[in-house]
Amino acid sequence: MTGVFSQTGSFFIMPRIIKSLNGTGIAFLALFLFLSLINISKASGQPVSGEEYKVKAGFIYHFTRFTTWPQSTFKAEDSPINLCIASTNTESDIIFALRDKTVKDRKIAVRKFRGKKDINKCQILFIASDDKKFVLKKLKTVKNKGILTIGEISGFIRMGGIINFFKKGDRLRFEVNPDAAEKAGIRFSSQLLMSAEIVRKGR
Amino acid sequence: MSPEKEPAFVRYLKTIKICMLILILCPVFLQWPEQAHATGGKEKRVPEIDFTKFSLEELKNVKITSASKTPEKLSKIPAAVFVITQEDIKRSGATSIPEVLRMAPGVQVARISATEWAVNIRGLNELYSNKLLVLIDGRSVYTNALSGVFWDVQDTVLEDIDRIEIIRGPGAALWGANAVNGVINIITKNASKTQGWQLTLLGGNQEGIFTARYGDIAGDDGFYRAYAKGFLRGRLFEGDRDIKNDPSKSDWQSGRGGFRFDFEPEDHISRVMVEGEAYANKFDTKDIRFFPAPPYFREDESASEAYGGHLITRWQYKLSDNSDAMIRFYYDFYSKDIGMGNVRAHTFDFDSQHRFVPFENHEILWGINARFISDKFAQTFDMEMDPQHKDQYFLSVFFQDRMRIIPDKLNLTIGSKFEYNRYTGMEIQPSLRMIWFPRENHALWGAISRAARVPSRIESDVEFNSQVPPSSGANAPVIVRYLGNNDLEAETLTAYELGYRIQPAENWWVNMTGFYHDYKDLIALELARPPFTEQSASDRWIVPFKYRNNKNGHSVGFEMAAYWEVMSFWKLKGAYTLLETNLENETAQPEDESVKLMVRRSNPHNQFSLISSVDISENIEFDLWFRYVDRLSEEDVGAYSTIDTRISWKPRPLMEISLVGQNLLEEKHSEFSSLKVERSFYLKLDWCF
């Protein structure tokens, strides 16, 4: 078997690559190098970063703190707050870490939302999905049942959802629909409303 | 360029060069633990942050990294693994599985004709690479009929692929025979991740593709999806259609439909998956028919057809926190025309695995596999199988122990597969793998393993008469006869691998692997006896070749993959492959030059790929993919460089329009044969609702 190798050596193929390029290729290559250099010089300090759903879990914990449900919702002073998750992705399972955190003497219980039969077992429903049909179906199931709905899809507020996450650059923001909250019998403290990006009237 | 004969010492120099590189790098690796020790031993990386302790305003300032997009975590597997994600597939602009594989280090992909690809890992590349195992959701698409993969019928909705795992080097200890040079594992998404409608429409100057998929919930704990896909590759490579001995095919039509169902009860203890698919595939081809009288040959237009389907069920059960079990069963059927012949095969496969921790620092994985294959070849005037119909079974057991010798520092994996088949009896395929973490984010691994390839049906049982046009001197037509051999042994490989991975920061990593593969008893054609004249209707000059275990060989190579997230919106992915292969005859008899003409195989010595992915804005993406592939010395195909580019725009969430240009640098280039791959464009609409 004739192994034919270039005289230039096996590890140093760059010159050969360049030789095999025509004008367009060289232009592209030059562009690569140029852009890389610009960006190296731009390196900056790292802000705190975290996985999307871990950060969302932090937000949801605070939403729980700043929300008041109708009196009839809880049987006792220390009945748990049930956070239900309906999701079309597995990453959102991180939210289960909120299990056993406490908010004003109430423990947070986290469970998967499986449909109608769970309505009375949920005070919060987080719909972790960007699938519009899936979201609409869940929203319809829990409409006006005293459940705080949280979503992460554009148009969630218009669909009748109460709090919606959205991204601004690589930071998280949330919007609130006070009308829908009112219909569900839920009240928010001003701390929550002040941090919300847009307080949009439901249409 | 004319191929130059290389003196042996030059080849040794190259081997030495690789060894030296490894040696030069080794001391660098060895210093690290000392440094780590000096800084007080184990360093803790980013601690788990409890975001509930943050205020709402503080949370709004946290930079988010979505879990699916974070760069691949430093793999703890002591093997050369590369993963192609759905995002990679989408942004590559590739429209078929073999084209996607071009981005992986160590994988050679070359287009042979409109419907054929040569795909291999770490070896001489050819149409049906017989030492590469390919699995789709655990179903082997490697066909035992001729030891290889029919790439033209391996397809699915590319948008529904979750990832493609490519394991270079022997995977035989786990996957069993034929996983000699590597394993390609194509894994489709869980049905819960494909909910709602997705429509894609793709049209360009070489192909048109349509896919529709619908997913919904099934009951309280289940999800399903159903899909249909069709494509037309009508006018492929029109200009090159009339090349002799290279009947590039046109009017390629393909359609398939299938479903997947996933069921996971709330307790998360068991999971069930059921998957099924049916497909049909057709393209025009030219058959060269032989006649006993001049002009001896006539070209006939005909259609090459293929169809098939499969059904898989898989059940996973969690026995405890560190113990689980899996049982999988599948049935697969295909019928495919090869040349003027046809082969059809039914496969029944049962697979089970059990993982448990018998005592601290040991994790045992073991399993049983049983496979039954029933095939049937159609008789043609030039090909005859004896027997035409054959039932075969394969039985195997494997076990593996992953030992944590020094927890978080040194892991040792030993394992072996014991496989029985009726061709060659028992094949024992052990492997020994070790991985060492000199400090966090650095891993050095090494492996020694043995793998075997079982002879194919063709190699055992064929009689194939290939007609050669009589040269001006000879009066009688010449027939090259290939004869199968029932006494073949399995081909074996002993592989030595050494790899290093480093991820110094969240935003970049580098993987390097060097290997030496030592092959024994490779199967090749050999002149069975001197050519003779056969008297039938007319005289024929017969040149008889027979399959024999007559070759040894070795290959040496180096593979590198690197990832760099330059900015949050700009990512670079590079891959480099160096591969040197050598075959030697076991006997002193020199190889007949004509054998090289019959079996066309070759690999480039150098390959390079660089992908740049830029998110220009929230809804515009721009990707560039540069590739360089060295010349094929055995095939007289020149080196080529090429660029694919993709620009996409999301007019609204869940809708994407993309424009892709492929092979832009030149009007056309050869990759394996005289067929030239042309520059092409397409426009694609991807719409979810």
Hey, CA dihedral for B6, B8, B9, B12, is it positive or negative?
A: positive
- Mean of the pLDDT values across residues B481-498? 91
- Mean of the pLDDT values across residues B523-550? 82
Phi-psi region of B507 (alpha: psi -120 to 50; beta: other; left: phi over 0): alpha
pLDDT digits (tens, 9 = 90+) for B305-337: 999 999 999 999 888 877 889 999 999 999 998
| CB contact burial B490-510 (16+ within 10 A = b; e otherwise) | bbbbebebbbbbbbeebbbbe
Cα B652 to chain centroid, rounded: 36
**Residue B48: partners with Cβ closer than 8 Å, 6 or more residues away:** none
pLDDT at site A13: 47
Give yes or no for B643 touching A (CB within 8 A).
yes
Is residue B494 pLDDT above 90, yes or no?
yes
**Residue B637: partners with Cβ closer than 8 Å, 6 or more residues away:** B602, B631, B670, B671, B672, B673
Nearest to B246 by CA among B547, B659, B607, B635: B635
Q: With contact defined as beta carbons under 8 Å apart, do A140 and A134 qualify? A: no
Q: With contact defined as beta carbons under 8 Å apart, do B107 and B84 qualify? A: no
pLDDT at site B293: 63
Q: Between residues A203 and B345, which one has the greater pLDDT?
A: B345
Give yes or no for B11 touching A (CB within 8 A).
yes
pLDDT at site B637: 87
Q: With contact defined as beta carbons under 8 Å apart, do B111 and B642 qualify? A: no
Cβ neighbours, 10 Å, residue B624: 19
Hey, CA dihedral for B197, B269, B369, B311, is it positive or negative?
A: negative
- List the beta strands (DSSP E) in B234-269: 250-263
Of the listed ranges B68-82, B176-190, B472-486, B552-566, the least confidently predicted one is: B68-82
- Mean of the pLDDT values across residues B424-442? 89
Give yes or no for B8 touching A (CB within 8 A).
no
Query: Which residue type is seen at B215?
Result: G
Residue A150: band (very low, low, confident or very high) from pLDDT cuts 50, 70, 90: very high
Residue of A nearest to B63 (CA): A49
- List the beta strands (DSSP E) in B114-172: 116-121, 132-136, 139-140, 142-143, 148-149, 161-168
Tell me the C-alpha distance between B49 and B54, whole Å. 10
Longest dimension (CA), chain B: 94
As a whole-number percent, the residues of chain B with pLDDT over 90 amount to 40
Q: How many CB pairs under 8 A join A and B?
A: 187
CB contact under 8 A, B67 and A91: yes
DSSP letters for B22-85: HHHHHHHHHHHHHHHHHTTSPPP-SPPP-GGGS-HHHHTTPEEE-TTTS--PPP--SSEEEEEE
| Distance, first Cα to last Cα, chain B | 55
pLDDT digits (tens, 9 = 90+) for A12-35: 444 555 555 555 565 555 555 555
CB contact under 8 A, B666 and A35: no
Task: Give the residue from B62, B599, B640, B664 with the most A CB atoms within 10 Å of its CB, the best one to mutate.
Answer: B62
pLDDT digits (tens, 9 = 90+) for B211-236: 999 988 888 778 899 999 999 886 55
Q: Is B226 helix (H, G, I), strand (E, B) or coil?
A: strand
* Averaged pLDDT of chain B: 82
Q: What share of chain A is helix, strand, coil (3-state, %, to 5)?
A: 40, 25, 40
pLDDT at site A45: 37
DSSP letters for B283-344: EEEEEEEE-SSTT-EEEEEEEEEEEEEEEEEEEEEEEETTEEEEEEEEEEEEEEEETTEEEE
Chain B closest CA to A154's CA: distance in Å?
Answer: 8
CB contact under 8 A, B64 and A28: no
CA angle B494, B499, B504 (to 5 degrees): 170
Backbone angles phi, psi at B98, to 5 degrees: -60, -35
Tell me the C-alpha distance between B211 and B194, whole Å. 13
Tell me the C-alpha distance between B196 and B211, whole Å. 14
B64 contacts in chain A (CB < 8 Å): 49-52, 55, 167, 170-172
Is residue B297 pLDDT above 80, yes or no?
no
Nearest to B103 by CA among B115, B91, B118: B91
CB contact under 8 A, B61 and A13: no
Task: Give the residue from A54, A102, A104 with the most B CB atoms within 10 Å of its CB, the best one to mutate.
Answer: A54
A58 contacts in chain B (CB < 8 Å): 51-54, 59, 62
A61 contacts in chain B (CB < 8 Å): 51-52
pLDDT at site B26: 38
As a whole-number percent, the residues of chain B with pLDDT over 70 amount to 82
Scanning B420-503, the segments in alpha helix (DSSP H) are 457-461
Is residue A46 pLDDT above 50, yes or no?
no
pLDDT digits (tens, 9 = 90+) for B61-114: 887 764 433 333 456 788 898 999 999 999 999 999 999 999 999 999 998 887
Query: Judged by CB atoms within 8 Å, which residues 81-100 of B form the interface with A?
Result: none
Question: What residues does B216 pair with on adjacent strands?
Answer: B224
